């Protein structure tokens, strides 16, 4: 039974709903059970009623160093006390310093444009690719998320009825994430299967493709890894057909390595987008890439020059946070990444053992600090595997049971969990103990045998 909502929470819910549609400023933040958080510190969150949670949501992944990371906060406060402001004219020392740090430490980035959100960054990357190639068509991946922009907000979670059986080679029907977009009218966007180079070839033979944008490892439907050779095949197809390969590392940049998943897989995209962990929770994102491509932003021919503008681009608060985050990661690279890898392994092994001990069919997918469990016998290789095999209902039930026990994962099926550098082995042990109890409530003795 869900816990009753406290008076404080009930008041907040109705007051917010009176003035904000749905009561929250991002529809992705609507959760059931309803919770309002009032404080975050390191690996923990506290709700309006004072209950503490070990946090694995990390606000959809930005808090790689933990909530309210003191060195980043201190740098931001110092910058404001020192007279930094949003000047709105001319270059700033801060943006130059961050850009240099990024270019020196991220192999895929030779020049960079700073933005505020991942959605702005992905939209700009697409615009750049069109200006560079003079083509219109874009390939996206079914089950990938590339932001809320009119064109890219499509085909993440769909039902079988919406997209039909697995298509390969071929493309899925375009399914906008919401009403009111132009996407159906333009038909420039082609969703294909993940891990499926032949579908990219199929689209390229039919349309002049400007770009393929993809998370190199899908992290908006859990953790879905590229098969050996898949990302290399994307690089070869981009070179063969002359489209730009854009790695959307908004979720993976800094989290898996300073150079993102691209550094791990060794495949260099033409353009890359970062966001989230770049400023450890402050709003900053970026588009970077090869110098020859990024310099289109100042192309002498106005017909080839994409617009890059934004009142808040390079905002001193977010830029300061990103500089301090990156400096910290550079100085502590080995211990930070070793620490989260060790915790990730502890979580992966522990979860696997718990599901096995309860007789529950499950698989665990993980990359470093990012993990997900699937209630199916193997880890998925594309979105279709998930809709065909995953037990969505029990997934949500398990998440709710764990939340009730003081461990916060977003209560949406398959959503990926993020460990931060602030977590400890004790946090993981506590989390696993609560998972053990939660699994026992969702699969009472004997019920696991009847699992589909
Ligand atoms: C891979 C990816 N790209 C782009 C975005 C959009 O970023 P934002 O929400 O900052 O606009 C997200 C957000 O979840 C994401 O995960």
**Which tens digit of pLDDT belongs to each residue from 286-319?**
999 999 999 999 999 999 999 999 999 999 999 9
pLDDT at 181: 87
Q: What gap in Å lies between CA 348 and CA 342, rounded to an integer?
A: 10
List CB contacts of 435: < 8 A, sequence separation 6 or more: 350, 351, 354, 402, 407
Q: What gap in Å lies between CA 6 and CA 22, rounded to an integer?
A: 19
What letter does residue 221 receive in the DSSP assignment?
S
For ligand 1, what atom is nearest to the CA of residue 285? 10
Does residue 60 line the site of ligand 1, with CB under 6 A? Answer: yes
Given a cut of 70, the residues of the chain with pLDDT beneath it are: 1-3, 446-452
pLDDT at 214: 98
**Which tens digit of pLDDT belongs to each residue from 315-367?**
999 999 999 999 999 999 999 999 999 999 999 999 999 999 999 999 999 99
* Ligand 1 geometric centre to CA of 121 (Å): 9
Q: What gap in Å lies between CA 392 and CA 396, rounded to an integer?
A: 6
| Domain regions of the chain by residue span | 7-60+333-450, 70-331
List CB contacts of 355: < 8 A, sequence separation 6 or more: 361, 362, 373, 439
| CATH number of 7-60+333-450, picked from 3.90.1150.10, 3.40.640.10, 1.20.1250.20, 3.30.70.330 | 3.90.1150.10
Q: How far is CA 448 from CA 125, 162, 324, 376, in A?
A: 46, 30, 48, 12
* Nearest Cα residue to 188 out of 149, 140, 136: 136
Catalytic residue check, 248: yes
pLDDT at 183: 83
Say whether 327 sits in a helix, a strand or coil. Answer: helix
What are the b/e assignments for 272-301, b being 16+ CB within 10 Å? bbbbbbbbbbbbbbbbbbbeebbebbeeee
| CATH number of 70-331, picked from 3.40.50.1100, 3.40.640.10, 3.30.460.80, 3.40.50.720 | 3.40.640.10
Helices (H) and strands (E) in the chain, counts: 15, 14
Residue matched to tokens 């819910």 = 13
On whether the CB atoms of residues 5 and 13 are closer than 8 A, the answer is yes
pLDDT at 72: 98
* Ligand 1 geometric centre to CA of 133 (Å): 25
* Residue whose CB lies within 8 A of the most ligand 1 atoms, among 275, 285, 318, 416, for a mutation test: 275
Q: One of 276, 290, 293, 382 is an active-site residue; which one?
A: 276
List CB contacts of 361: < 8 A, sequence separation 6 or more: 355, 375, 376, 377, 448, 451
Q: One of 55, 196, 248, 382 is an active-site residue; which one?
A: 248
Domains 7-60+333-450 and 70-331 share a fold: no
* Nearest Cα residue to 88 out of 319, 385, 316: 316
Q: What gap in Å lies between CA 304 and CA 327, rounded to an integer?
A: 35
Catalytic residue check, 276: yes
* Ligand 1 geometric centre to CA of 213 (Å): 12
pLDDT at 452: 46
Give residue 99's Cα distance to chain centre: 22
Does residue 220 line the site of ligand 1, with CB under 6 A? Answer: yes
């Amino acid at each position: 039974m869900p816990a009753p909502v406290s008076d404080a929470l009930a008041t907040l819910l109705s007051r917010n709903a009176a003035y904000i549609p749905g009561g929250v400023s991002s529809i992705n933040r609507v959760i059931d059970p309803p919770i309002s958080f009032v404080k975050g510190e390191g690996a923990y969150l506290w709700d309006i009623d004072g209950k503490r949670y070990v946090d694995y949501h990390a606000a959809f992944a930005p808090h790689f160093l933990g909530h309210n990371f003191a060195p980043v906060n201190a740098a931001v406060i110092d910058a404001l006390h020192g007279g930094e402001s949003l000047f709105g004219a001319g270059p700033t020392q801060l943006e130059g310093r961050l850009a240099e740090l990024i270019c020196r430490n991220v192999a895929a980035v030779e020049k960079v444009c700073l933005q505020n959100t991942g959605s702005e960054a992905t939209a700009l990357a697409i615009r750049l690719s069109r200006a560079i190639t003079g083509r219109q068509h874009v390939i996206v991946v079914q089950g990938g998320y590339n932001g809320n922009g009119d064109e890219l907000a499509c085909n993440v979670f769909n039902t079988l009825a919406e997209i039909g059986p697995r298509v390969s080679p071929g493309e899925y029907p375009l399914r906008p994430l919401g009403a009111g977009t132009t996407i159906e009218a333009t038909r420039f966007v082609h969703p294909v299967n993940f891990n499926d180079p032949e579908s990219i070839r199929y689209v390229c033979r039919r349309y002049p493709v400007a770009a393929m944008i993809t998370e190199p490892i899908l992290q908006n439907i859990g953790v879905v890894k590229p098969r050996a050779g898949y990302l290399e095949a994307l690089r070869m197809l981009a070179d063969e057909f002359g489209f730009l390969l854009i790695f959307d590392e908004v979720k993976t940049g800094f989290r898996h390595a300073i150079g993102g998943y691209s550094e791990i897989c060794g495949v260099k995209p033409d353009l890359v987008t970062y966001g989230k962990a770049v400023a450890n929770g402050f709003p900053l994102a970026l588009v970077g890439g090869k110098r020859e491509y990024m310099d289109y932003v100042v192309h002498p021919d106005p017909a080839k020059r994409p617009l890059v503008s934004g009142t808040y681009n390079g905002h001193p608060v977010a830029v300061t946070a990103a500089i301090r985050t990156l400096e910290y990661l550079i100085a502590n690279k080995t211990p930070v990444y070793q620490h989260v890898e060790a915790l990730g392994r502890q979580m992966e092994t522990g979860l696997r053992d718990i599901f096995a001990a309860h007789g529950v069919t499950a698989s665990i997918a993980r990359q470093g600090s990012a993990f997900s469990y699937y209630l199916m016998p193997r880890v998925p290789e594309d979105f279709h595997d998930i809709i065909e095999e995953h037990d969505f209902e029990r997934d949500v039930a398990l998440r709710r049971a764990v939340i009730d026990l003081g461990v916060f994962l977003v209560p949406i099926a398959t959503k990926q969990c993020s460990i931060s550098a602030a977590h400890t082995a004790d946090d993981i042990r506590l989390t696993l103990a609560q998972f053990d109890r939660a699994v026992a409530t969702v699969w009472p003795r004997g019920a696991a045998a009847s699992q589909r």
